[in-house]
Amino acid sequence: MSVFGSIMSKVFGHEAPKPAATPAGQTQNSAPAATATAAPTKPTPISQADAEALLTAIAANYSHPVNWKTSIVDLMAILGIDNSLAQRKTLAKELGYSGDMNDSATMNIWLHKQVMTKLEENGGYVPADLTS
C-alpha cells in the first residue's frame, strides 16, 4: 500500500480510489459484455466537523501533545504511520513534489497541504484552513 493509501485508510477506512479495471469479457477496444457491471461507488464523505473531530480525538489519545493541523510529521505519527524522512520523501514522490527533497521544512509544509487537499479530493471534507 502506498504511503498516501495508508493515510486514507487510517482516516477514512479505505484507500484512495484506483482507476477502474476493464471488466471481464471486455478488452480496451471492445464493447462491454452483455452482463451489467455495477458502477464504482464513491466514498461516503464525512463532514468537516467529523474529519476534524476524528483527528483531534486521535491526537488527544496520543502519547504526547502534537500539532497535526500544521505538521505532516505529527499527522503521520497520530495515524500510526512511519513519519521518517525516508517515508516523507516517498510520500512526496507519490504526490508529485518537484522541489528539493533535501529542504525538508519546505517539503513538509507542501506535503501537509497536499495530503489535506488529496483527502478532500478523495471523498472527505477538511476545514479550508488546512488546505490553503
Sign of the CA dihedral 96, 101, 107, 111?
Answer: positive
Residues 67-86 have a mean pLDDT of 96
Q: How large a percentage of the chain has pLDDT more than 70?
A: 71
Query: Where residue 120 falls among pLDDT bands split at 50, 70, 90?
Result: confident
Q: What is the pLDDT of residue 34?
A: 43
Q: What is the pLDDT of residue 41?
A: 54
Burial class (CB in 10 A: 0-12, 13-18, 19+), 86: exposed
Length of the chain measured in residues: 132
CA distance 4 to 112: 11
- For residues 24 and 81, which has the higher predicted lDDT (pLDDT)? 81
Q: Where are the domains positioned within the chain?
A: 3-11+43-124
Q: What is the pLDDT of residue 26?
A: 43
Task: Give the mean pLDDT of the chain.
Answer: 79
pLDDT digits (tens, 9 = 90+) for 15-71: 555 544 434 444 444 444 444 455 555 555 555 546 777 888 889 999 999 999 999
CA distance 124 to 68: 17
CA distance 39 to 48: 27
Indicate the range of 4-8, 91-95, 117-121 predicted with least confidence: 117-121
- For residues 6 and 46, which has the higher predicted lDDT (pLDDT)? 6
Residues 79-98 have a mean pLDDT of 97
